[in-house]
Structures are given as structure tokens and as C-alpha cells.
């Protein structure tokens, strides 16, 4: 696999075309100036909405500002993610963030105003003014938040504090993406190479245990060096979230996070409890791993190495895209035709370069198209990541095409369903196509590891968030020692006594950016469980499921997420989807252990 040192080395076909949003920075700046004026215009509605017409005019202007601001922010963000060290891009993002604060401040009066109108009066406004019907669901839904909206003045103060409250997350982001350097590691051939996140994901799978150990130690070293600073950013982030939850009269930070999606706390607790009852499956897998690797003791740097040797092969980006297209055939011709066009239209930024944001994501931009960021490494993991992110991209594409702006963006709760359905379809395709017994065994092992990472690990993270937020709510100290104690205890509970814990294990929390988006990670696990149920029916050729799943992808946020999933036959208020997923993990483990 080629390592790229600059974006100039990468083929144009494998890079985003951000001119689809703005032709140049000058046009972006014009849009910023336009927004400044629109923000002044909308601010004049403060205290001046007197009837249904005024209300409609305000809402139309608000949506116009939201649409324009989304383009401004996304352009700055995407530019910056290509090289997080670039100060020009950082200044664009700073300006966009400041505009966001101004918009929040200018519109902060609206929710207190809206909730001061009696429901029957608002209903009469909607009935007599046709344009208001477009906003009806959101307007009426606002009454759910009545107990959690503060006075006009208080809302304005909170909106002004927006940038300061997001500081812990931004600080961690700069540390994690721009400042942290992992140093050099020695490869098996004796050569030294700079360790990147992408390189780490390869070396932690290396068959040479000393290479894995050195990469593991080098990867954690900067996090240990910055442990107190990172503990401070995470502690501040959690305390900010707890304080906001109290100010808004929520019983807890968890309930605040669940409220918007209308998800009962039982769904979150059921996920953790059902998984913990079955965590013995993960203990058993680690015992199988220790046995297959013929180790006297199992360490954390042994948890990613492939258990089936000599079957790794290089899969180019073009080949990966072709395999993905074949694997997703159960989703139908419409899906495949649109997905095939994304590659040639340059919706994907493919390669890892110095300073580029780590990981992968999809960002759907209403009125433009999805943008997918990858750090592709021409291997099996990268093939799965491609299928995963293109699931998100197709979800964005369909929802934006079939929904009006107000309901075009799906909630994070359902986001992981579309991505994981693609991964499940891919693994089944690869298993069916594999003629070689070792390759099949390797694929089963790969899916078990995917299952572990997307389900078990995320449930463990979700429990870590729940415990640390509850500690903050009780006024208990949240510092380096507290984070280490909670994380190490959970890691041991989930992985079992067979795993010998290195000193670095307890610092695992320090490298997880998702902890700065409170109560987000559990959605990976619920999405994974939902996807398994949906994918199994698609693989059985269930035409009704293909139709209902297609409708789900086109639904955006037109209904609450649990209701959207119920239309596909998945009910997350019950333990069954979680149990069904865990049952599949057991079957995979049984198959693998037998071979």
C-alpha cells in the first residue's frame, strides 16, 4: 500500500470536490456576510411576532438561515479535516462557529415565546395559515419541551455561552488530531517508521507479538503524557453536560440526552443489562483467542491480531467498491444505481495523508450531496469501513431526496442502522464467495471482531458514560484517578479474567473522542442489533422487508426513531433485538471454535 505524504500525490478521482458547495473561499465569505445580515433581520422578530403571518415569516427566515449556515459550517469543517494543521482552515471554522453562536443568540427568544402561546391558539394559527402546516409537527412537538425551556433572558445567556461550553471538546479535538505524535516504531524488517493511527491499526494486527507490543506502547505513550490535561477536558465536558441538564430541569444528563428522540431510559438500561448477562460470551472468545495464539497470557495488544494466518490480502479501493456493490444486491436496483454513481462524482475522499482527520465519516449536505471521509488502507478493514460509510451516505441521499428540509436529517439514533446493514450483507457475501476453508474461518473471525468492536465495546463505553455522569451528578470527584478506576473495572468485567491488564489499559478512556458527545455510543450497539434483524430478512429474500427498509431510508426524521424502526419490525423497547444479536454472536463463536 502506498503512503501519501501530500494531497498533491493523490489521484483527483479519490479526492472531494468542495466546489460543489462553494466555488472558492471568496464565495464562502460572501455567504458569511449574507448570514450576518440575515441574523440581524431575524433578531428584529424578538418581541415582534404578533400573529400567524409574523410567525410564518419568522419560521421561513429561520429555515433559510439554517440552510445557509449549514453550507458555511460544512465547507469550513470539510476543508479543515483534510489537514487539521492548516491555520487558514482553522480560521474558517472559527468564523463559522462564531456565526453559529450569533444565530443561537438571535433566535434564543423564540422557544420561550412559542411556549407562551396556548396550544389551542397555535392550532388555530396553523389551521388559518396554510404555510404553517409545513412546520406543524415541529411546532406542536415543542410543547414536550415546555418544562425544559428557560426564560427568554436565560436562554440568551446560555446561547452566548455556547462557544465556551464546547471548549473542552474543541481542545481535545486539537490535541487528538493535530498535536499528538506517536513517534517511531520498528518494523519486523528492522526499519523504523512513523506511527500514525492508520499504521497503528495495521501493526496491532501484526503476527509478530513484539511489533504489536511496541506499537501498542508507542500509541498510548502520548495519551499517558497528556493524561492530566485530557482528564481535565473530559471532566469539564461531563460537568458542563450535567450542569446544563440541571438548568433545564431534567432528572439526569442521560434523560436529557434521550428526551429529544423520545427514547425511554429503559432502552439504554436494557441494552447494558442484557449485554452484561451475556458478557460470558466475550470472556469465552478471549479464551479461544488465547488458545489459538498459543499464549501463556493474553494482553490487550493480542486482541486484534488475526487468528487465521496467511490469508490477508490487499484489496484496492476500486476492487473494494466493486465487491461492496455485489454484496449489497439484496437492497435492490435503485440503491445500487445511485451508490455506483457516488464514486465517479467524487463524493469520497479516500486516502490518509499527514494531518488529515483520523477515522471515517459521512456528512450529508442538504441541497448538495453526501461527503464521505475515509483513510483507506487497501485491506479488509477498509472494505468494511467503505461499506459502512456508504450506508450512511445512501441514508443521507435518500432522506434528503424524499423529505423536505425540515425532516430531511435523520437522527443519530437511527444512523448506525443503515451502515451496519451494509456490513452484515457484506460479511455474508464474502462468506458465500469464499472457496477456501481458511478464508472462511478468517472472515468469521473478522465478523466476530467487528461484532465485539461495534457492540460489546460500545456498550462498555455507554456504561462508562452512565457511571461517570452519575458520579458528577452526585458531586463525586471526576479526575484522572476516577476515570482510570471506572474504566479499568469495566474493561476487566467485559473481557474476563483471562486478559492480563497492562498499565495502559486503564487510560483507554483518554483516546475516545465520542465521550465528548454524551450518550452517543450506545446508538452504535442498538443500531447494530437492529441491523442484524433487518439484514437477516433481506438475506432471506423478504421483499416486504426490502420495501419497508427502503421506506425507512427515505424517512429522515419524519417520525420518532423508535417508531421508524418499528415499521421495519424492530422493537428496541424489548430485549429481543439485543438477545437476537447476541445469539448470532454465540453462533459465530461456536462455528469458529469448532474449526
Got the DSSP string for 20-32? GT-SSHHHHHHHH
Instruction: Return all residues near 164 (Cβ < 8 A) that are at least 6 apart.
Output: none
Q: With contact defined as beta carbons under 8 Å apart, do 557 and 405 qualify?
A: no
SS3 for 298?
strand
Cell 466493486 locates to 322
Q: What CA–CA distance (Å, rounded) separates 317 from 323?
A: 10
Residue in 590, 536, 312 with CA at minimum distance from that of residue 443:
312
Q: What CA–CA distance (Å, rounded) separates 304 from 326?
A: 27
Q: What CA–CA distance (Å, rounded) separates 309 from 447?
A: 16
The 3-class secondary structure across 435-478, one letter per residue, is CCHHHHHHHHHHHHHHHHHHHHHHHHHHHHHHHHHHHHHCCCCC
Question: In this structure, is the dihedral angle defined by the CA atoms of residues 581, 585, 590 and 592, taken in order, positive or negative?
Answer: positive
Residue in 292, 282, 260 with CA at minimum distance from that of residue 491:
282
Cell 482527520 locates to 357
Cell 410564518 locates to 56
Q: What CA–CA distance (Å, rounded) separates 207 from 250?
A: 50
Q: Are strands 348-349 and 370-373 parallel, antiparallel or unpaired?
A: parallel
The active-site residue out of 389, 423, 463, 465 is 389
Instruction: Return all residues near 153 (Cβ < 8 A) that are at least 6 apart.
Output: none
β-strand partners of 349: 373
Residue in 90, 549, 505, 554 with CA at minimum distance from that of residue 303:
505
Question: In this structure, is the dihedral angle defined by the CA atoms of residues 503, 504, 506 and 510, taken in order, positive or negative?
Answer: positive
Element housing 504 (H / E): none
Q: What CA–CA distance (Å, rounded) separates 7 from 12?
A: 9
Q: With contact defined as beta carbons under 8 Å apart, do 293 and 305 qualify?
A: yes
Q: What CA–CA distance (Å, rounded) separates 108 from 306?
A: 53
CA angle, corner 410, sides to 517 and 23, nearest 5?
90
Q: With contact defined as beta carbons under 8 Å apart, do 349 and 13 qualify?
A: no
389 is catalytic: yes
Q: What CA–CA distance (Å, rounded) separates 566 from 550?
A: 14
Catalytically active residues are: 389
Amino acid at each position: 500500500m502506498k503512503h501519501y505524504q501530500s494531497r498533491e500525490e493523490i489521484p483527483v478521482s479519490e479526492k472531494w470536490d468542495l466546489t460543489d458547495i462553494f466555488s472558492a473561499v471568496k464565495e464562502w465569505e460572501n455567504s458569511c456576510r449574507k448570514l450576518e445580515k440575515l441574523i440581524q433581520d431575524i433578531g428584529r422578530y424578538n418581541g415582534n411576532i404578533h400573529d400567524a403571518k409574523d410567525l410564518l415569516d419568522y419560521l421561513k427566515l429561520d429555515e433559510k438561515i439554517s440552510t445557509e449556515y449549514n453550507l458555511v459550517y460544512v465547507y469550513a469543517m470539510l476543508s479543515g479535516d483534510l489537514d487539521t494543521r492548516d491555520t487558514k482552515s482553522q480560521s474558517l471554522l472559527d468564523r463559522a462557529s462564531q456565526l453559529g453562536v450569533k444565530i443561537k443568540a438571535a433566535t434564543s427568544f423564540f422557544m420561550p415565546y412559542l411556549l407562551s402561546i396556548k396550544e389551542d391558539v397555535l392550532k388555530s394559527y396553523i389551521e388559518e395559515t396554510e404555510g404553517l402546516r409545513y412546520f406543524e409537527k415541529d411546532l406542536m412537538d415543542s410543547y414536550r419541551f415546555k418544562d425544559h425551556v428557560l426564560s427568554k433572558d436565560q436562554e440568551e445567556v446560555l446561547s452566548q455561552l455556547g462557544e465556551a461550553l464546547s471548549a473542552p471538546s474543541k481542545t481535545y479535538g486539537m490535541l487528538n488530531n493535530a498535536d499528538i505524535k506517536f513517534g517511531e516504531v520498528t518494523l519486523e524488517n528492522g526499519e523504523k517508521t512513523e506511527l500514525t493511527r492508520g499504521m497503528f491499526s495495521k501493526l496491532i494486527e501484526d503476527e509478530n507479538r513484539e511489533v504489536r507490543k511496541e506499537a501498542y506502547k508507542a500509541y498510548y505513550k502520548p495519551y499517558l503524557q497528556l493524561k492530566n490535561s485530557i482528564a481535565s477536558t473530559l471532566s469539564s465536558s461531563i460537568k458542563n453536560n450535567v450542569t446544563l441538564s440541571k438548568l433545564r430541569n431534567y432528572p439526569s444528563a442521560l434523560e436529557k440526552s434521550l428526551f429529544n428522540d423520545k427514547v425511554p431510559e429503559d432502552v439504554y438500561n436494557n441494552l447494558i443489562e442484557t449485554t452484561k448477562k451475556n458478557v460470558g460470551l466475550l470472556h469465552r472468545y478471549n479464551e479461544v483467542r488465547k488458545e489459538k495464539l498459543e499464549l501463556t497470557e493474553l494482553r490487550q495488544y493480542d486482541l486484534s491480531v488475526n487468528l487465521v494466518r496467511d490469508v490477508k490480502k490487499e484489496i484496492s479501493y476500486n476492487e473494494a467498491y466493486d465487491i461492496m456493490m455485489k454484496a449489497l444486491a439484496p437492497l435492490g436496483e435503485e440503491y445500487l444505481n445511485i451508490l455506483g454513481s457516488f464514486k465517479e462524482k467524487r463524493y469520497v475522499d479516500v486516502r490518509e495523508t499527514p494531518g488529515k482527520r483520523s477515522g471515517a465519516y459521512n456528512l450529508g449536505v442538504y441541497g448538495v450531496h453526501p461527503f464521505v471521509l475515509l483513510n483507506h488502507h487497501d485491506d479488509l478493514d477498509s472494505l468494511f469501513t467503505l461499506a459502512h460509510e456508504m450506508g450512511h451516505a445512501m441514508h443521507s441521499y435518500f432522506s434528503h431526496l424524499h423529505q423536505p428540509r425540515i425532516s430531511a436529517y435523520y437522527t443519530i439514533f437511527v444512523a448506525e442502522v443503515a451502515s451496519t446493514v451494509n456490513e452484515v450483507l457484506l460479511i455474508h457475501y464474502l462468506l458465500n464467495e469464499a472457496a477456501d476453508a481458511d478464508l472462511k474461518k478468517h472472515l468469521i473471525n473478522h465478523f466476530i471482531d467487528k461484532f465485539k468492536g461495534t457492540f460489546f465495546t460500545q456498550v462498555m463505553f455507554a456504561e462508562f458514560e452512565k457511571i461517570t455522569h452519575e458520579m458528577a451528578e452526585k458531586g463525586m470527584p471526576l479526575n484522572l484517578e476516577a476515570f482510570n478506576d471506572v474504566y479499568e473495572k469495566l474493561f476487566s468485567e467485559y473481557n474476563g479474567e483471562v486478559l492480563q491488564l497492562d498499565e495502559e489499559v486503564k487510560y483507554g478512556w483518554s483516546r475516545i473522542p465520542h465521550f465528548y458527545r454524551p450518550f452517543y455510543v450506545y446508538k452504535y450497539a442498538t443500531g447494530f442489533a437492529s441491523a442484524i434483524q433487518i439484514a437477516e430478512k433481506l438475506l432471506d429474500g423478504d421483499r416486504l422487508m426490502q420495501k419497508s427498509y427502503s421506506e425507512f431510508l427515505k424517512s429522515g426524521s419524519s417520525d420518532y426513531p423508535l417508531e421508524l424502526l418499528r415499521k421495519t419490525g424492530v422493537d428496541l423497547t424489548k430485549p429481543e433485538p439485543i438477545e437476537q444479536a447476541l445469539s448470532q454472536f454465540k453462533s459465530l463463536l461456536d462455528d469458529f471454535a469448532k474449526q
